[in-house]
């Protein structure tokens, strides 16, 4: 005669299923936390890039001067500062304009900083061979290019 089988799960099966469920919840919560950290870092990086692009556009449009600025607060982004650095290059008449934005204090304790560099014409430089009346460059006698007639 066969022994009667009990219906249901044994205690060992329930404990094993509970352990697997708990482990899965721990792993998924850690992945969600990592995703939140990376989303915040991406958002902060986008804010820094937007600030740099905005300040660079202001300078190129002539709304702000291309002069050095050290950690000025950004009006429309509290907690952020920007710096402008103008570096003379070896190429005559060209300077490197660097705009940097960074967060003053970060709750996560990480530094968020973004820089944008663009080479522009030096506002203080004038070509020695430039014709002041017409604004055209005078060509050297050995130049073989086409001239406008």
- We report the CATH number of the domain holding residue 71 as 3.30.1300
Domain around 35: 13-121
| Residue 91: inside a domain | yes
> Would strands 94-103 and 80-88 be described as parallel, antiparallel, or unpaired?
antiparallel
Examine residue 111 and state whether it is found in any structural domain, yes or no.
Answer: yes
Decide if 136 is inside a domain. no
pLDDT at 72 > cutoff 50: yes
Domains held by the chain: number: 1
Q: State yes or no: pLDDT of 34 exceeds 90.
A: yes
CA–CA separation, 89 and 84 (whole Å): 16
- Examine residue 6 and state whether it is found in any structural domain, yes or no: no
pLDDT score of 88 more than 60: yes
Q: Quickly state the pLDDT bin for 123 (edges 50, 70, 90).
A: confident
Q: Do residues 122 and 93 make contact, with C-beta atoms less than 8 angstroms apart?
A: yes
Instruction: Please report whether residue 64 resides in a domain.
Output: yes
Q: Give the Cα separation of 124 and 134 in Å (integer).
A: 19
């Amino acid at each position: 005669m066969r022994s009667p089988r009990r219906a249901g799960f044994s205690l060992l099966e329930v404990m094993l299923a509970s352990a697997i469920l708990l482990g899965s919840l721990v792993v998924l919560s850690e992945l969600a936390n990592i995703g939140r950290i990376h989303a915040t870092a991406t958002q902060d990086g986008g804010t820094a890039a937007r600030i740099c692009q905005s300040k660079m556009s202001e300078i190129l449009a002539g709304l702000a001067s291309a002069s050095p600025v050290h950690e000025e607060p950004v009006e429309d982004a509290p907690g952020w500062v920007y710096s402008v650095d103008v570096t003379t290059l070896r190429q005559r008449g060209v300077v490197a304009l660097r705009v940097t934005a960074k967060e003053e204090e970060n709750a996560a304790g990480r530094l968020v900083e973004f820089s944008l560099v663009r080479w522009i014409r030096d506002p203080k430089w004038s070509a020695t061979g430039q014709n002041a009346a017409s604004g055209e460059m005078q060509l050297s006698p050995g130049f073989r290019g086409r001239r406008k007639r």
